């Protein structure tokens, strides 16, 4: 049984960005993982789901500057929000979770920080959704995956062709599959 109680309390647009089926899938994966890194945290929705369902640690990497993430920018515009507010809200949303570590850095800077120091048994990529960013995220974080670890990400759909293109190019035609909703998983 997975726990989705905390995510229902999140203030902001995060709950709308992840569907219940996607949250459930992430929670199920987290139950078997001890060292998880999430690339792109935004309001902290998936961070809460992951943290409440693992007995291990969750590292949340985001610089909260937006970069080229037009999906997040449009969500923020709809809520009359700012990047600094999304960071503040993420801190509030994860404050009671002792196994969450916020890393306020760019994806590539954080990958360099962890390189040679830490391996993760789950990498969840959900940062900028353009082709170049997703490709760089996969290339930077895949080497930090432990043997038997899970590489996955969000927003694999026609509305964000850059995500699909990067996943297909980096993982090959039989190197990935769709999971719940818009989640992709490396095979």
Q: What CATH number has the domain bearing residue 149?
A: 3.40.50.150
* Integer Cα distance of 46 and 3 in angstroms: 12
Nearest to 180 by CA among 28, 32, 3: 28
Q: What is the pLDDT of residues 122-165, one digit of tens each?
A: 999 999 999 999 999 999 999 999 999 999 999 999 888 999 99
Q: What is the pLDDT of residues 38-61, one digit of tens each?
A: 999 988 999 999 999 999 999 999
- Residue span of the structural domain in which 172 resides: 5-186
Q: What is the pLDDT of residues 77-94, one digit of tens each?
A: 666 777 778 899 899 999
The model carries a pTM of 0.92
How many structural domains comprise the chain? 1
Neighbours of 21 (CB within 10 A): 13
């Amino acid at each position: 049984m997975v726990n989705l109680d905390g995510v229902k309390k999140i203030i902001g647009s995060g709950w709308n960005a992840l569907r219940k089926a996607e949250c459930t899938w992430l929670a199920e994966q987290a139950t078997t993982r001890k060292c998880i890194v999430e690339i792109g945290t935004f309001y902290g929705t998936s961070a809460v789901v992951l943290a409440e369902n693992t007995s291990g640690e969750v590292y949340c990497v985001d610089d909260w500057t937006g970069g080229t993430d037009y999906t997040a920018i449009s969500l923020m515009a709809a809520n009359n929000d700012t990047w600094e507010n999304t960071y503040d809200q993420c801190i509030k949303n994860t404050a009671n979770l002792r196994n969450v570590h916020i890393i306020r850095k760019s994806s590539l800077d954080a990958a360099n920080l962890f390189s040679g120091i830490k391996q993760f048994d789950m990498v969840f990529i959900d940062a900028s959704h353009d082709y170049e960013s997703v490709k760089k995220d996969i290339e930077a974080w895949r080497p930090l995956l432990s043997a038997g670890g899970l590489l996955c990400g969000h927003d694999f759909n026609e509305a964000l062709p850059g995500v699909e293109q990067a996943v297909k190019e980096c993982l090959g035609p039989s190197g990935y599959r769709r999971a719940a909703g818009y989640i992709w998983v490396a095979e």
